[in-house]
Every structure is written in C-alpha cells, then in structure tokens.
C-alpha cells in the first residue's frame, strides 16, 4: 500500500502533493513501483495536527481519486469522516481506511456494508491530539487484540462482511517505543484474529527514537521494520517508499523460500 498524502502538514511529506496533479503523478509513480493499493488521505493524523473540514478534505481527495481510478490498483481513502468516505467511494475508491476504527463516525460501517467495500480498522489510544501524552496499557498486545476483536464485531454488526475487514495495530498511535516494539515482535498473536493485518511503520518517529534520525531519513528503519512485520504475518504494508519496500520484500521472500519472481 503506497501513501498518497494530499495534505500541507503530513509528518514526512506534507505539502509535496497538495496539488491534485502532483498527487496523481505521485500515485502513478507508486503504482509503477509496485503498489497494489494507493492510500489517499486529505487530513494528517500526526500528533497535534490541525483538523480539516469535510469540504476541504473532499476537495483535496476526490480529484486525486478520480485521477487514479482505473489505473489498475485499488484505492483506499484514509479518513474518519462519513461524507469524505462516501465521496471517495463515489469517485472510485474501494477500501475505507479508518484510523478511528468506526469510533469517529460509526455510520462508515453502514456505508461499507451497503457498498460491500473493504474496511481497515486501526487501533489508536486517545486521539491524534492527545495520543502521545502518556500511552499506557496492561499488556499492549492483549489490549490491542481485544480492541480489534471488539471493533470487528461492531463493524460486522453495522453490516460489513467479515471477509472485507483488515486489522491494523496502529504503530505510533498512542504508543511508546516499547509498545511499538512489542506489537511488532508479537504480531503473530494479532494474526490469530483471523483477518489480514495491515502494518504502517513508514518513516515513523519510533525509528528516530532508536537512531536519532529525522522523518526524511528513515528509509532503512522503514525497510527493516516492514520486512520483519511481513515475516511475522503482516499482509499489507503501508509505505511511502514503494520501490524500496517492494524490492526488500521480494528479496526477503526469495530467501525465506517464497515463489521467486
């Protein structure tokens, strides 16, 4: 899954693709690089990010989705707002990536059920504004697992087919470095929920906490954590640098004995 951020303030690429033409060109490039899904977002979820109105989020994302629909990849909309999700599905998206896991706008579950589209349910403790203040868990993996199980039930109750649900531990969303490490180490326990796991480590601050790097200089850490997440059972990796991640996964797969390409 390649990231297409149509925002002025995303933590690693804010402002680069705010213009629809630039975002569409970037999406084409990520598809050529090997992305099978493009995750289009119009609002940053970084800690302390400014909130964006529905109209603004639709104005940012809809033209980009229209421009990328039909190029041979699936498109997901990274939003927690019903109206933004609906506009995106109308424009050609087929997956809703909701970082609030239907807690922001529960009607997104009804919408996904009616349209029979995919739904990503992500774990987050707190809200983007507050999440990094003092994250705390009894056992981070058990707590995240219970949350994702409960949110899956809520989505199914809203009408979403269980087969169309993907689960995400939400790396960096209300977690300390040790919480993130524990989740990545014990990913197989989350796979026991029986749904595909999506993991997003790309350029995140936990990498900087390990080696002091800035967001624009975390490719090595992104690749290491993505490959290990895949080896531990993640099926979808959300990354900004698709070419490098695709090559790393091919090589790792070849070494581990997967089909050679």
Instruction: Give least dist CB 260 to ligand HH2, A.
Output: 30
- Catalytic residue, chosen from 204, 209, 218, 250, is 204
From CA 96, how far away is CA 76, in angstroms rounded? 5
Between 36 and 258, name the residue whose CB sits nearer to ligand HH2.
36
204 among known catalytic residues: yes
Residues contacting 252, CB < 8 A, separation 6+: 227, 230, 231
Q: How far is the CB of 168 from ligand HH2 (least distance, A)?
A: 4
Report angle CA 197, 116, 249 to the nearest 5 degrees: 30
Cα(254)–Cα(100) distance, integer angstroms: 36
Rounded to 10°, the helix 54-68/20-32 angle is: 50
- Closer CB to ligand HH2, residue 214 or residue 254? 214
The answer to whether residue 238 is catalytic is: yes
Binding site for ligand HH2 (CB under 6 A): 3, 5, 7, 10-12, 41, 44-46, 78, 97, 99, 120, 122, 168, 170-171, 198, 200, 238
Question: What backbone phi and psi angles, to 5 degrees, belong to 118?
Answer: -70, 155
CA–CA distance, 91 with 95 (Å, rounded to integer): 12
- Judged by beta carbon, residue 82 or residue 96, the one nearer ligand HH2 is 96
Name which of 24 and 37 has its Cβ closer to ligand HH2.
37
Q: How far is the CB of 136 from ligand HH2 (least distance, A)?
A: 20
Locus of tokens 């997104």: 108
> Closest separation between CB of residue 140 and ligand HH2, Å?
15
- Taking CB atoms, the residue at the shortest distance from ligand HH2 is 200
Residues serving a catalytic function are: 204, 238
């Amino acid at each position: 899954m390649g990231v297409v951020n149509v925002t002025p303030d995303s933590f690693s690429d804010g402002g680069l693709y705010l213009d629809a033409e630039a975002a569409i060109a970037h999406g084409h490039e990520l598809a050529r690089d090997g992305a099978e899904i493009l995750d289009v977002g119009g609002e940053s979820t970084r800690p302390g990010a400014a909130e964006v109105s529905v109209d603004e989020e639709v104005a940012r994302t809809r033209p980009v989705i229209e421009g990328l629909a039909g190029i041979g990849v699936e498109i997901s909309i990274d939003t927690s707002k019903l109206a933004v999700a609906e506009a995106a599905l109308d424009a050609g998206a087929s997956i809703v990536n909701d970082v609030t896991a239907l807690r922001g706008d529960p009607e997104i579950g009804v919408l996904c059920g009616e349209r029979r589209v995919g739904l990503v349910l992500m774990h987050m403790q707190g809200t983007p504004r507050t999440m990094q203040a003092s994250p705390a868990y009894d056992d981070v993996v058990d707590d995240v697992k219970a949350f994702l199980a409960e949110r899956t039930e809520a989505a199914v109750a809203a009408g979403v087919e269980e087969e169309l649900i993907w689960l995400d531990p939400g790396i960096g969303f209300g977690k300390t470095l040790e919480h993130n490490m524990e989740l990545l180490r014990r990913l197989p326990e989350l796979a026991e929920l029986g749904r595909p796991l999506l993991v997003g480590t790309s350029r995140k601050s936990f990498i900087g906490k390990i080696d002091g790097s800035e967001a624009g200089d975390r490719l090595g850490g992104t690749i290491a954590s993505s490959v290990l997440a895949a080896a531990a059972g993640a099926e979808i990796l959300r990354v900004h640098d698709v070419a490098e991640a695709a090559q790393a996964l091919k090589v790792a797969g070849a070494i581990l004995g997967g089909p050679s390409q």
